[in-house]
C-alpha cells in the first residue's frame, strides 16, 4: 500500500522522529523537492526514511563548508560573502550533488 506524502507531512515526520532541528524549514523544502523530482524523473517511489535522509543530506553555512572540508579559507582570495558562497558551492559541486541554497546555507549530499 502506498501513501503519498505532501510537504507538511514530510516536515512533520522530522518532528515526530525528534529530528526537527536537523534541517531548517527551507532546507526541508529543498530536500522534499529533490526527492519528489527524482521520483517523477525515475519512476521509482522512495520510502520516507527520516534517519536515512538525515544521513544522506547536509545543511551547512558556506563558512562551515570551508571548516569541514577545505584546509584553509585563507588560501582563497575571497572578496565578500557572495564570493565565499560561490567558492563553497563550486567546491561542493566538484565533490557531490548540491541540492540548493537557503538565504544562509547550502544543502548537499553527504560525501
Q: So where are the chain's domains?
A: 7-109
Residue 51 near residue 104 (C-beta atoms within 8 A): no
The secondary structure of residue 100, as a DSSP letter, is: E
The secondary structure of residue 75, as a DSSP letter, is: G
This prediction's pTM: 0.89
Residue 46 near residue 35 (C-beta atoms within 8 A): yes
- Residues 6 or more apart whose CB falls under 8 angstroms from that of 103 comprise 26
- Cα separation, 34 vs 38, whole angstroms: 6
pLDDT digits (tens, 9 = 90+) for 70-109: 766 666 666 677 778 888 999 999 999 999 999 999 999 9
Amino acid at each position: 500500500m502506498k501513501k503519498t506524502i505532501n510537504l507538511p507531512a514530510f516536515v512533520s515526520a522530522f518532528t515526530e522522529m525528534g529530528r526537527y532541528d536537523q534541517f531548517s524549514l527551507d532546507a526541508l523544502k529543498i530536500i522534499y523537492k529533490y526527492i519528489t523530482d527524482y521520483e517523477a524523473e525515475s519512476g521509482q517511489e522512495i520510502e520516507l526514511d527520516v534517519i536515512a535522509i538525515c544521513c544522506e543530506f547536509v545543511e551547512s553555512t558556506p563558512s562551515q563548508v570551508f571548516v569541514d572540508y577545505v584546509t584553509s579559507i585563507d588560501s582563497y582570495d575571497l572578496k565578500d560573502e557572495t564570493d565565499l558562497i560561490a567558492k563553497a558551492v563550486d567546491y561542493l559541486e566538484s565533490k557531490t550533488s548540491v541540492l540548493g541554497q537557503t538565504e544562509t546555507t547550502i544543502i548537499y549530499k553527504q560525501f
